[in-house]
Amino acid sequence: MKILILGGDGYLGWPTAMFFSNRGYDVTVVDNYFRRNACTELDVGMLYPVPTLVERAKIWHELTGNEIKVVIGDLTDPEVMRSLFTGIVEYSWALDRGFAGIPETVIHYAEQPSAPYSMINYKYANITIKNNLLVTNNLMFALRDFSRDTHVIHIGTMGEYGTPNIDIEEGWLEIEHKGRKDKFLFPRQASSLYHTTKVMDTDLMWFGVRMWGLGITDLMQGPVYGMETKDSVIDKQLRTLFNYDEIFGTILNRFIVQAVVDYPLTVYGKGGQTRGYLNINDTLQCIHMAEKTPAQKGELRIFNQIMETFSANDLADKVQRVGKKMGYDVKINHIENPRKEAEEHYYNPTYQGLIEIGVEPNYLTDEVLAGMLQVAEEYKSNIRKDVIFKGIKW
């Protein structure tokens, strides 16, 4: 089975590549180092240095004997995207430089993934729109033209739904109005420009499904936490990139690092903002189960990819409690909210679909938190306090 991973250098992309490579799949990864370059440009810290994608593929091959083919290229260029299906692709690294073949599954992570990045100013807003929509559209047209049977697994975000006053279903809602019925995509209204581009991604994919009979799974994911996956433990150089700053660091990853360097946990406003979360190992499980049970042709299958919900206050309290047990004097600081978002709101999402196809949740236990604190402690000398909070306003 051939798997193509778009955005293979990212926080989720690289662990996904190792996961499938370890299980006998032929894996190709594509990336243009957008995330790394943005981190350099914006001067945000990474917890530890991470080898390039080509270096990682070589290390992976030395340690496991498995090949992960690497393409360094910009998928907003349609010719780069199309080369992955026509076979005229040039690999930046591969043992066998011959075309891997048309993939049975494409996993699409190739997005600018940060809400604050998209809100820095109009220039970053435009970069986010161009990157996210052109990559997704190029994928839709490549499949239309070359491979309508390929299953796409896309990472959406729970942020597409916002915080509505009704229960959040898994992607779809049947609506009765004036005595007539129809089924629609669940109403979506996002609270950052980044999240809005993910709403638009879903629109582009729903268009591809309706027009050309594509089969797509869209996974509405919550913020992910964790560094280590079961495949990365064999060598520290295989750990995925890890940000702890305001722009690319997700909330729990950020709190963990703040705890270790005695930087009060920055809770935005009242801290009642409730979201669904999951462990990075569960992201891999979800992708795997979605791959094993593909969407039908002509189906846009949507799952809500979260395992449990917490408020920002819940997360801060957990990190404080576990951190104190480990000897850190963790403080919590409610700062003025730089974002426009509800700080207290109704939030009741459904998330049964992935459990039903076989995912077994890993919950946020004290042991998990302690493990993350240990890794952060290991790299404590790398942590730059000055990049943790910059105050990008909405």
89 lies in the site for a second copy, by CB under 8 A: no
| 129 forms part of the interface with a second copy (CB under 8 A) | yes
The answer to whether 88 contacts a second copy (rule: CB under 8 A) is no
Q: How far is CA 316 from CA 33, 56, 91, 389, in A?
A: 32, 34, 44, 16
One-letter amino acid identity for 394?
A: W
Q: What contacts 364, CB < 8 A, 6 or more positions away? A: 225, 252, 277, 279, 308, 310, 318
Span 238-277, contacts to a second copy by CB under 8 A:
none
Per CB under 8 A, the segment of 1-9, 207-215, 327-335, 359-367 that binds a second copy is 207-215
Nearer to a second copy, 176 or 367 (CB): 176
Residue 194 designated active-site: yes
Contact status, residue 280 vs residue 224, Cβ threshold 8 Å: yes
Is 344 a binder of a second copy (CB under 8 A)? no
Does 157 qualify as catalytic in the annotation?
yes
According to the binding rule CB under 8 A, does residue 211 interact with a second copy? yes
Q: For the residues of 245-306, what is the DSSP string, one character each?
A: STTT--HHHHHHHHHHTT--EEEETT---EEEEEEHHHHHHHHHHHHHSPPPTTEEEEEEE-
Q: Which whole-number Å values give the CA distances from 3 to 24, 49, 132, 247, in the listed order?
A: 11, 27, 21, 30
Q: With DSSP H G I counted as helix, E B as strand and the rest as coil, what are the percentages for the chain, rounded to 5?
A: 40, 20, 40
Say whether residue 329 binds a second copy (CB under 8 A): no
Stretch that binds a second copy, among 119-127, 354-362, 375-383, 384-392 (CB under 8 A): 119-127
Among residues 16, 137, 221, 229, the one that binds a second copy under rule CB under 8 A: 137
By CB under 8 A, tell whether 142 contacts a second copy.
Answer: yes
- Token pair for 96: 């066998």
Mode of pairing for the β-strands spanning 308-311 and 274-279: antiparallel
Per CB under 8 A, the segment of 39-47, 135-143, 239-247, 355-363 that binds a second copy is: 135-143
Q: 121 vs 381, which CB is nearer to a second copy?
A: 121
Is 218 in contact with 231 (CB distance < 8 Å)?
no
Annotated catalytic residue within 25, 124, 194, 351: 194
**Residue 363 touches a second copy, criterion: CB under 8 A:** no
Using CB under 8 A as the criterion, which residues of the chain lie in contact with a second copy when the complex forms?
78, 82, 121-123, 125-126, 129-130, 133-134, 137-138, 141-142, 145, 164-167, 173, 175-178, 180-182, 184-185, 187, 189-191, 193, 196, 199-200, 203-204, 206-207, 210-211, 340, 346, 394
What are the residue numbers of the active site? 157, 194, 198
